[in-house]
């Protein structure tokens, strides 16, 4: 939201898009509507391929993500990673809110990168060196719209079933996929699973293609 606020101040015609996984909290839709009203921006909504979602649910059930790490990654792949890839294939650059302090995986994020995973387009991370406190100070100073779940203790918000409030002393991303331990708290949008986890996701994707 801080980036969106800055961008709207620089260029009223800025484009903003989001991925609707089909499992978002109601408060996320409320925020999207508030953004459109307050900034005069039409939020472009990207959806997963309904056939892939139907095949996954038919084979593994609606809550496949609780079964194992590879099955959670499969759900993220279908609902988030692939829709994003399709969207980015139409763009020359994109801007994200990645910050180095968010997790170990993000510690080396640069402000300007070549996104090789998405056709070598430009990827801008202008808040890479910002702290959470600096983001909060900016949002308060400029009265930036705030996701309602932050007031309930959430620190990182994704799909409803996969996100919970963060307890005192926990890592910022501890509320994401909280039932998993000793794994990377990433969905695959910015950092892909490696090794055995990646191979298992590929196998699960192949099973869906066979089933459909």
pLDDT digits (tens, 9 = 90+) for 51-98: 999 999 999 999 999 998 888 889 999 999 999 999 999 999 999 999
What residues are labeled active site? 187
Gap between the Cα atoms of 154 and 174, Å rounded: 10
pLDDT at 139: 96
Q: Rounded to two decimals, what is the model's pTM?
A: 0.85
Examine residue 195 and state whether it is found in any structural domain, yes or no.
yes
What are the distances in angstroms from CA 119 to CA 115, 134, 141, 201? 7, 32, 37, 21
Examine residue 166 and state whether it is found in any structural domain, yes or no.
yes
Is the pLDDT at 202 greater than 90? The verdict is: no
Is the pLDDT at 183 greater than 80? The verdict is: no
pLDDT digits (tens, 9 = 90+) for 97-150: 999 988 777 888 999 999 998 999 999 999 999 998 999 999 999 999 999 999
- Indicate the number of domains in the chain: 1
CATH number at residue 176: 3.40.50.620
Averaged confidence pLDDT in the chain: 89
pLDDT at 172: 80
Gap between the Cα atoms of 47 and 50, Å rounded: 8
Q: Which domain holds residue 33?
A: 2-90+147-211
What are the distances in angstroms from CA 182 to CA 57, 82, 95, 104, 185? 26, 25, 29, 12, 9
Examine residue 137 and state whether it is found in any structural domain, yes or no.
no
| 180-206 mean pLDDT | 67
Examine residue 82 and state whether it is found in any structural domain, yes or no.
yes
Gap between the Cα atoms of 160 and 20, Å rounded: 12
Examine residue 117 and state whether it is found in any structural domain, yes or no.
no
Examine residue 122 and state whether it is found in any structural domain, yes or no.
no
């Amino acid at each position: 939201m801080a980036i969106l606020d800055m961008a709207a101040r620089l260029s009223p015609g800025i484009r903003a898009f989001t991925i609707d996984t089909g499992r978002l909290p109601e408060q996320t839709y409320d925020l999207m509507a508030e953004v459109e009203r307050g900034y005069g921006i039409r939020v472009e909504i990207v959806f997963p391929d309904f056939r892939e979602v139907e095949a996954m649910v038919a084979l593994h059930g609606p809550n496949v993500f609780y079964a194992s790490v590879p099955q959670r990654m499969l759900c993220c792949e279908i609902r988030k990673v692939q829709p994003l890839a399709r969207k980015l294939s139409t763009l020359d650059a994109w801007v994200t809110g990645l910050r180095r302090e968010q997790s170990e995986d993000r510690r080396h994020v640069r402000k300007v990168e070549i996104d090789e995973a998405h056709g070598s387009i430009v990827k801008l991370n202008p808040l890479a060196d910002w702290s959470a406190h600096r983001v909060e100070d900016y949002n308060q100073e400029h009265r930036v719209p705030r996701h309602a779940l932050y007031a309930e203790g959430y620190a990182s918000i994704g799909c409803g079933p996969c996100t919970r409030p963060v307890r005192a002393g926990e890592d910022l991303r501890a509320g994401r996929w909280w039932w998993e331990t000793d794994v990377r708290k990433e969905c695959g949008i910015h950092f892909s699973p490696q090794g055995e986890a990646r191979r298992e996701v590929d196998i699960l994707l192949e099973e869906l293609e066979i089933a459909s």
